[in-house]
């Protein structure tokens, strides 16, 4: 189903043929994200992603949008901790147009001074917006606790200080270093056109200067006790994010952690949703999520809670975590979690964009487990004992951090800290 090609200059291409579809989704993945940035240039990957849409040597900003939207397609981009991706979804017959536009954006941005100054203002407003959103800001506070003094612990958009100190030439230098063929994966999923896309991509990159693949600062965990950050703010709710150090995406336990996450808070039939929301009415929104990076990861529980009930809610959440450690999951609950995991995975492949994101991310990481059936096999191999073992490994005091945004009083802060020490 997948065809992987590596060009002489190091550029990687992955193709997922879906002949029954009419669309095709294309992503240009660059190994440039938050964890590759120095402290003084935090937010530069995200800034560059914004600037690319302002125009290239061949297209104005308006022409970039019109080239995709004018043929009925959709254009977007995102910046993460470890990658930046430029993506488009178009009809199969327009694949060449999309590839030409996306590669032009990545390889030939103008980065003009007038656009730089305007976009810096826009990004500073974006940073303020996230700070004003307690359900978003609490996660910025949490990653700072999980990975202190490390690029993974900084906000992806940067701070007002770092973004204000960046210069136009900084973006050009950074792009030149990071956006080289050895750092790029082009992922294509959908109805592949009859003409040879590979030859077209080879022609585009024929004269692009290559360079070394960039490294990043590895994570070294030194946490010895629960870490907390209670950010006082006059909000209607208190938003919490409770995080535990997890596993890298190359760990054999990542699939077990995925199942643990589903059982804990990954859907509406999960333990946290049922107990905290449905049975006790302590929160409208509560869920958990698992994230895996090259060399680390995290399991995060997040919720919006009535401030008057925060201590009780934390007590209930900690109780659910403790039961995960000390009582084995029932066979029926375990079966449902596996079916949910596999079902959500397989449904990804019904859409060309979701399929491209899957194949692109996997290929960009160098993950050899591309086929869905291989992932399903890994999920099926997980046992009930594995879930309890991973629960005991992850839910520890020296792996726990809690951030909150809301009007919590000092007395309640002390109560919450006591609850956290009881794992």
Please list the active-site residues: 49
Instruction: Give the span between the Cα atoms of 102 and 90, in whole angstroms.
Output: 12
- Give the Cβ contact number of residue 377 at 10 Å: 12
CA–CA dist 410, 111 (Å, integer):
48
For 267-303, give the secondary structure using H, E and C: CCCCHHHHHHHHHCCCEEEEEEEEEECCCCEEEEEEE
Question: CA–CA distance from 270 to each of 142, 273, 299, 345 (Å)?
Answer: 23, 5, 15, 18
Q: Which helix (H) or strand (E) holds 67?
A: helix 61-69
Residue with tokens 């200080």: 161
Cβ neighbours around 295 below 10 Å, total:
17
Count of beta carbons in the 10 Å neighbourhood of residue 31: 21
312 Cα distance to chain centroid = 31
Answer yes or no: are the C-beta atoms of 200 and 96 closer than 8 Å: yes
User: Computed over its alpha carbons, how large is the radius of gyration of the chain?
Assistant: 23
The rounded distance, in Å, linking the Cα atoms of 358 and 14 is: 11
- Residues in the chain, how many? 423
Q: 34-61 b/e with 16+ CB inside 10 Å = b?
A: bbbbeeebbbbbbbbbbbbbbbbeebee
Q: What token pair was written down for 241?
A: 């994010």
**Spatial separation of the C-alpha atoms in residues 400 and 185, rounded to whole Å:** 35
Measured CA to CA, the distance from residue 242 to residue 392 in angstroms comes to: 16
């Amino acid at each position: 189903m997948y065809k992987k090609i590596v060009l002489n200059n190091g550029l990687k291409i992955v193709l997922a043929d879906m002949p029954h579809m009419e669309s095709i989704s294309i992503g240009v993945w660059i190994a440039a994200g938050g964890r590759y940035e120095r402290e003084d240039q935090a937010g530069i990957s995200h800034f560059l992603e914004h600037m690319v849409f302002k125009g290239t040597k061949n297209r104005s900003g308006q022409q970039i949008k019109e080239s995709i939207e004018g043929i009925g397609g959709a254009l977007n981009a995102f910046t993460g901790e470890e990658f930046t991706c430029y993506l488009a979804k178009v009809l199969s017959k327009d694949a060449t147009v999309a590839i030409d536009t996306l590669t032009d954006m990545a390889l030939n941005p103008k980065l003009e001074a007038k656009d730089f100054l305007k976009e810096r203002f826009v990004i500073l407003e974006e940073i303020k917006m996230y700070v004003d959103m307690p359900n978003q800001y609490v996660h910025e506070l949490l990653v700072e606790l999980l990975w202190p003094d490390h690029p993974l612990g900084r906000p992806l958009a940067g701070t007002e200080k770092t973004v204000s100190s960046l210069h136009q030439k900084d973006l050009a230098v950074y792009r030149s270093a990071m956006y080289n063929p050895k750092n790029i994966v082009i992922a294509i999923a959908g109805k592949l056109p009859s003409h040879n896309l590979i030859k077209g991509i080879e022609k585009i990159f024929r004269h692009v200067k290559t360079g070394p693949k960039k490294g990043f600062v590895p994570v070294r965990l030194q946490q010895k006790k629960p870490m907390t950050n209670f950010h006082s703010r006059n909000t209607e709710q208190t938003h919490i994010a409770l995080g535990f150090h997890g596993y890298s995406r190359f760990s054999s336990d990542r699939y077990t952690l995925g199942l643990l996450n589903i059982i804990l808070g990954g859907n509406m039939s999960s333990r946290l949703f049922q107990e905290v929301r449905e049975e006790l009415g302590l929160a409208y929104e509560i869920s958990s999520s698992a994230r895996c990076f090259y060399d680390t990861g995290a399991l995060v529980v997040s919720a919006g809670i009535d401030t008057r009930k925060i201590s009780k809610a934390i007590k209930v959440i900690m109780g659910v975590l403790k039961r995960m450690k000390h009582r084995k999951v029932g066979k029926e609950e375990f079966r449902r979690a596996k079916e949910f995991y596999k079902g959500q995975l397989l449904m990804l492949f019904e859409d060309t964009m979701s399929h491209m994101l899957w194949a692109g991310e996997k290929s960009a990481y160098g993950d050899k487990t591309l086929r869905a059936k291989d992932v399903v096999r890994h999920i099926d191999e997980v046992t009930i004992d594995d879930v309890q073992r991973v629960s005991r490994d992850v839910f520890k005091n020296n792996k726990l951090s809690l951030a909150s945004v809301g009007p919590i009083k000092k007395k309640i802060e002390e109560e919450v800290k006591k609850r956290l020490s009881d794992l």
